[in-house]
Amino acid sequence: MNVGVRELKQHLSEYLDRAAAGEVVQVTERGVPKVQIVAVPEIGAMTRGVDDGWLRPPLRSDGLTPLRRVRGVRRVADVVEDDRGS
Answer yes or no: is 67 within a domain.
Answer: no
Number of domains within the chain: 1
Within a domain: 71 = no
Position 46 scores a pLDDT of 86
Confidence category of residue 67, pLDDT binned at 50, 70, 90:
confident
Greater pLDDT, 46 or 27? 27
Return the percentage of the chain with pLDDT > 90, whole number. 57
Whether 61 is in a domain gets the answer no
Terminal-residue alpha carbon distance, the chain: 64
Residue span of the structural domain in which 25 resides: 1-55
Residue 66 lies in a domain: no
Q: Which CATH number covers residue 21?
A: 3.40.1620.10
Alpha helix (H) ranges present in the chain?
5-10, 12-20, 45-52, 76-84
Residues 12-45 pLDDT 10s: 999 999 999 999 999 999 999 999 999 988 888 8
What size, in residues, is the chain? Answer: 86
